[in-house]
Amino acid sequence: MNKAIIFDMDGTLFQTNLILEPALTSTFDILRAKGLWQGDTPIEKYREIMGVPLPVVWETLCPKHSLEIREESNTIFHTKLIEQIENCKGALYPNAEQTLTTLAENYHLYIASNGQIAYLQAIVETYQLERFIKGTYSIQSITSGHKSDLVRKVIEENNIHHGAVVGDRASDIQAAQDNHLQSIGVRFDFAQESELQKANVVIDNLKELLTVL
């Protein structure tokens, strides 16, 4: 019987908050220079929706802009995020490496994220997560854009029969429930208590996974 743990990336394994502000600021500096934005960078608004697919991000941050400008903004932002990652401006959450090392002895580990492929690969390569992770799945690999469908893809492609989804947002918890896996919420930077209440278990540190699983 294949046992697996499927992790979200942003706000679960990777401290996206460390690179979010500088990347978003750089992006909106460029938009302001092009005359496409006025006012402050909407960092707080982005924090509120962290974890949703990037097209939704730009619909929310720039509701009056055309699709073309949103796509251009997304491309700039994506590039700036990767630059931050490759320059080691981000970090994994405390105890992530130790926890993943131990879990990999008994579980197959995967990542299922709303992040884009190149962005996720930059994190995996920079922090050498391939030591622990058997596969990284981006929302770009499915047409529906729903985390539940992405987790189902992981399950079907890897013949998973038992396991858990670990994440910080409602979409992660719902994905676990929709696919009959245990849902484990993490109370980290972007987590919201109202969403975590629906999880089977909530943890404050990744090392707690070693006792709750």
pLDDT at 110: 98
pTM for the model stands at 0.92
Cα–Cα distance for residue pair 122/124, rounded to 1 Å: 6
Cβ 169 vs Cβ 195: under 8 Å: yes
Secondary structure (3-state) at 46: helix
Tokens standing for residue 57: 């991000």
Cα–Cα distance for residue pair 129/123, rounded to 1 Å: 8
What CATH number has the domain spanning 2-15+92-212? 3.40.50.1000
Cα–Cα distance for residue pair 198/49, rounded to 1 Å: 18
Tokens standing for residue 136: 């990284």
pLDDT in tens, 4-62: 999 999 999 999 989 988 999 999 999 999 999 999 999 888 878 876 667 788 999 99
